[in-house]
Amino acid sequence: MAYLDHEEAFEDFKERALEGIRSHFPIEGRERTLLLKGLEVEAAKDAHDDIEGQHKAKLSGATFARPVYATLALRDNATGKETVERLQVAELPVVTRRYSYIVGGQEYQVDNQWQLKPGVYTKRRQTGELETRFNITNRQDFDVTFDPATKQFKMERGKSKSIPVYPLMKAMGVDDDTLERQWGKDVLEANKQMRGAATALEQFYKADRKSAPSSRDAAASYVREALAGSELRPDATELTLGKPFKAVDGNVLTLATSKMLQVQSGKVPEDDRDNLVFKDLRSVGDYAYDKMTDWRVQRSLKAKMLRQINTASAPRQVVRTEMFNKPLLDTFRKNASVRVADQVNPVEMVSSAMATTIMGPGGIKSENAIVDEAKLINPSHLGFLDPLHTPEGSRTGVTLHLPLGVKKVGKEPMIPVYNLHTGKRDFIGPKTFMRSSVVLPDQVKWDHNQRPRPVTPSVKVSSTSNELEQQSFKDADYAMYHPSQAFSVTSNLIPFMGNNSGNRATYATSQIEQAISLEDRDAPLVQVGTGGKGVRSYEEFVGRHSAHRAPESGVVVHADKEHGIVILGKDKKQHRVQLYNNFPLNDAKSVLDSTPTVKVGDKVKAGQTVADNNFTRDGTLALGKNLTVAYIPYKGYNFEDGVVISESAADALRSVHLYKPKLKVQEGDVGSPKKFQIQHPEAYRKEQYEKLSEDGVVQVGQKVLPGDPLILNTRP
């Protein structure tokens, strides 16, 4: 999701999804044209806090979403007369306070993805062979390889692995004089005499079209059209080729092959494709846009609308809601970056929203295709990825988490820094960070005017290419605000981070996210300070995102779990805060259940905690119990990770669970308590039967004790 703020997350998703819908219009038919005049999502204030609506959607297998309305005009091409209608064309899933999306009754979370930018990248393969990858999004990718023994360049395109490159460059208008200056005479001659050079254009054509061209001229024309139509990102090629290019042309091929020779000779380094300057950060909105603009979807929807457009008298006869709704919901149903939310505890929920991966649509398809280099910490990660917060096993280094403060702008991650030249707060991306001198956060102290002062005249900085070095403070460009900027929400909950080893910190992030709620929980006595104003600790920070707060200042006029908390505001209007009431989560051990911390008549201020859930205490994250402990040997039973504890300590750590018993009922089964009692008169007591409904299922609101029946069933 890449956003901690729910409103920002929904706005990004909404804008990208609407952009995808707009791409389908206008639809021009022979008799009529369908125009899009307006597109909007029905507003719903604080929809992410509509707990009752979310609960209903989960139980009924529905989608928790807002309707998308389009104002469409059907224009008569001959007269210019328009028929205008406002129609619902889709429904947009709303992000919940749990950072999830409810689609078809299931709660999903969406991983953020690092995707290589369209560009030209030179690197050695694991076999040692030198390649230049032409990463193309709108056309077919291809590679150019160099054999130092034969001094020849070959192209790998589709199933064709050895298409001579020289004839393709000639077709793109590159002359021999240019190639001799760039390659040298011996390399040029080797490529001129390369086997298969005479049929290279035909090989390229066959690799794409799966058939032979009608003539050599047709093959040459296709080569020029296919390569010139292969889009590149200027910001990526400027870094790798020295110049910005929007598409593949003769200059791109010349510079790319020349660079390969320089890399082969050791004059210039390989391109670091794992560097974040070459990556786009994609989130749910980008996936939705991709689904809506996929060429198959574009072709299918256009064909459906064209079948109706010339005989239709109104837009509703051309457009149906399911047309756009299906690809939009496929963002969640058919997407490798989407998974059923784990929902163990609030920390895990926040953490999952900030998780990133290099796998998924448009990225690496299989774990087997991930090379070891892609799992390693890259210098460009500083400030943009937490190096500690990663799972164990095959996903180590593949799944990483965004640190606090990272802001997604378009497809680029941005972090806040202090501009030492202007004295203002700036947001910069990986490219600016890499090209600048950034003072590390522990090298400065902040005065009462919130201006950085160096601890010593010479400070540790992240300099060009993110190399750490000592430098004069006056020569630096930016300063990071706080060490927490390097770590995720979960990592920042670890006390005394500076005194922990990396491995132990990584284990700690997993343990925090696996904690289940306790019946008698405490906010920790030792909390991790934020170093800023307002929220004092990260435990308070997570608690504020999880517990319930007053939307307005006023007086509490109602407070209970079932109906929530009602506040009579200063505007004389009633403001209702919905509470969790045994809200089922995806994790089999977890549940969300709220308890008011205010009573009728209490005066509250906007933002004040008015109810805890079963993971908070007084609005602060409370995942454990503060115990007075002493470690002593006990009859040899204390060994490594095995610790003997007292029964009173075990009672203090009693956890809270939501149990979901199910029974498959067959035809002829009897669930009536009266009939069950006749068959099994000694099974239960009268007061136990009174807790059940007539169909033999325990009634909502009943307090059950160990041994009480939850579902009665008997069969002949």
Residue 655, φ and ψ in degrees, nearest 5? -100, 165
- Buried/exposed code over 85-94 (b: 16+ C-beta within 10 A; e: otherwise): bebbbbbbbb
* Residue 237 contacts residue 136 (beta carbons within 8 Å): no
Show the CA angle centred on residue 643, arms to residues 637 and 649, nearest 5°: 120
What is the b/e burial string over 115-136, where b = at least 16 CB atoms within 10 angstroms of the residue's CB?
bbbbbbbbbeeeeeebbbbbbb
Can you give the pLDDT at residue 675?
A: 85
Contact 100, 48 (CB under 8 A): no
CB-based contacts of 297, cutoff 8 Å, min separation 6 = 291, 327
CB 197 within 8 A of CB 190: no
Q: Residue 366: what pLDDT?
A: 76
Q: What are the mean pLDDT values of the chain's consecutive 10-residue runs (716 residues total)?
A: 84 95 95 96 87 91 95 95 95 94 94 94 91 92 95 94 96 96 96 94 94 94 95 95 96 97 95 94 94 92 95 93 92 90 94 90 76 86 94 87 92 96 95 95 91 93 91 95 94 92 91 94 94 86 93 94 92 94 86 94 95 96 92 80 87 85 79 85 89 90 89 84
Q: Please name the helix (run of DSSP H) or strand (run of DSSP E) that holds residue 309, with its range, or none.
A: helix 295-309
Phi-psi region of 61 (alpha: psi -120 to 50; beta: other; left: phi over 0): left
| All residues at 6 or more sequence positions from 98 whose CB lies less than 8 Å from its CB, including other chains | 107, 341, 343, 346, 349, 585, 592
Mode of pairing for the β-strands spanning 119-124 and 130-135? antiparallel
Which pLDDT score is estimated for 1? Answer: 60
Contacts for 76 with CB less than 8 Å, ≥ 6 apart: 31, 32, 82
- Burial string for 375-402 (b: 16+ CB within 10 Å, else e) reads beebebbbbbbbbbbbbeeeeebbbbbb
Distance CA 60, CA 51 (A): 14
